[in-house]
Amino acid sequence: MGTEWATTILSQTIGRLAILSTSISYIELGERKTNSELSGVLQKKDFELSEALKNKDFELVDEMKATKYVVVNEYKDSFEVKKKIFEYFDNGLRSS
């Protein structure tokens, strides 16, 4: 019985990790998006930030700095996503 229990727990855990690693999500003001959607959002934010800085729209720059992103998946693939998010905001803060 002990072996069956351990095997069941292990297979359930591996299944959950596989599902989570293929579905990285993030929350932007309460919305959930996949990794590919996140990439598009970050590209759009990069463009918006560069345009705001170019046009000296410091109100928009401040608004963008105040936006918070939280990665909800803590597994290995999310590290790169998290890193991109932090680099984006870190670069945004430095360039203003």
Residue-level pLDDT at 3: 56
Q: Is 7 within a domain?
A: no
Helix (H) or strand (E) holding 33: strand 31-33
Q: Is 13 within a domain?
A: no
Residue-level pLDDT at 75: 40
Domain span at residue 56 reads: 24-95
pLDDT in tens, 55-92: 887 787 777 666 554 444 444 444 555 555 555 555 54
- Look-up: residue for tokens 């591996």? 14
Residue 81, Cβ neighbours under 10 Å: how many? 19
Q: Is 89 within a domain?
A: yes
Q: Is 3 within a domain?
A: no
